[in-house]
């Protein structure tokens, strides 16, 4: 697969470029070669298959249609001997052509939007500060991602990692060796100085949850 103007390109043989009604200019070599293909002398070939265009000749379109005169059932009837202009299409990026794929950047952007949408649905119950953390994580992970799929995986795994670290179930006091207690409801992590809240649920389980400000940054104690 070749790349044109930063876009990957591979001909799909869909015939769309033969239906746009553009001008296909013929060189002298094209005229000589195509005359032989249709078994006509050059003057007769020019009369039946071309129209004058300034000092040149261009291929006719089919009657009442933008289709090239050589297009038959979605295939070029002179494919192996087609004009130089057709053989070298495209010379530059053409958004009408299905053969062009997305650039890596646009593919990443589309995949990023899809991941964000999925994550927003998954984490719709998050508080504002938690959502800010998740959004910040998206952006940081996307910076270093090389492809759309790698970026997507990194984002999803990174967010899951964040959520798993945001709240920790406390099974014993040994789980709190890395924290100092500030008051009845709060702890400070000894190394990061992040502030954590002590919570309990209706089953009696105790958790500690890291606290964030509205910008998504951990609150320091």
Give residue-wise pLDDT tens across range 131-150.
666 666 666 655 655 555 55
- Look at the alpha carbons of 144, 147, 149, 150 in this order and tell me if their dihedral is positive or negative: negative
Domain range for 51 is: 2-87
> pTM of the prediction?
0.47
Distance CA 48, CA 26 (A): 14
Alpha carbon distances (Å) from 7 to 11, 17, 89, 109: 13, 17, 14, 15
- pLDDT, tens digit, 9 for 90 and up, residues 19-73: 987 899 999 999 999 999 999 999 999 999 999 999 999 999 998 889 999 999 8
Residues 125 and 199 in one domain: yes
Alpha carbon distances (Å) from 143 to 22, 32, 103, 119: 42, 55, 16, 18
Residues 54 and 79 in one domain: yes
Sequence-distant (6+) residues with CB within 8 A of 198 are 184, 185, 186, 187, 206, 207, 208
The long-range contacts involving 174-181, CB below 8 angstroms and separated by at least 24 positions, are: 176/208, 179/208
Residues 124 and 201 in one domain: yes
| 15 or 131, higher pLDDT | 15
DSSP 112: H
Residue 218 lies in a domain: no
Residue 97 lies in a domain: no
- Rounded mean pLDDT, 175-197: 85
Residue 147 lies in a domain: yes
Number of domains in the chain: 2
């Amino acid at each position: 697969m070749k790349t044109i103007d930063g876009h990957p390109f591979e001909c799909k043989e869909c015939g769309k470029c033969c239906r746009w009604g553009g001008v296909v200019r013929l060189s002298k070599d094209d005229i000589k070669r195509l005359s032989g293909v249709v078994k006509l002398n050059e003057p007769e070939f020019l009369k039946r298959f071309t129209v004058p265009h300034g000092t040149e000749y261009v291929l006719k379109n089919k009657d009442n249609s933008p289709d090239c005169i050589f297009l038959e059932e979605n295939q070029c009837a002179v494919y192996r001997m087609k004009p130089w202009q057709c053989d070298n299409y495209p010379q530059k990026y053409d958004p009408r052509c299905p053969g062009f794929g997305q650039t890596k950047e646009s593919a990443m952007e589309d995949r990023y939007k899809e991941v964000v949408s999925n994550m927003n649905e998954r984490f719709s119950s998050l508080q504002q500060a938690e959502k800010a953390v998740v959004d910040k994580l998206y952006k940081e992970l996307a910076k270093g991602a090389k492809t759309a799929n790698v970026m997507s995986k990194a984002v999803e795994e990174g967010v899951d990692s964040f959520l798993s670290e945001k709240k920790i179930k406390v099974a014993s006091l040994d789980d709190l060796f890395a924290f100092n207690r500030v008051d009845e409801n709060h702890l400070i992590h000894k190394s990061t100085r992040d502030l954590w809240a002590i919570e309990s649920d209706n089953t009696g389980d105790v958790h500690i949850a890291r606290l964030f400000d509205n910008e998504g940054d951990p609150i320091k104690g």
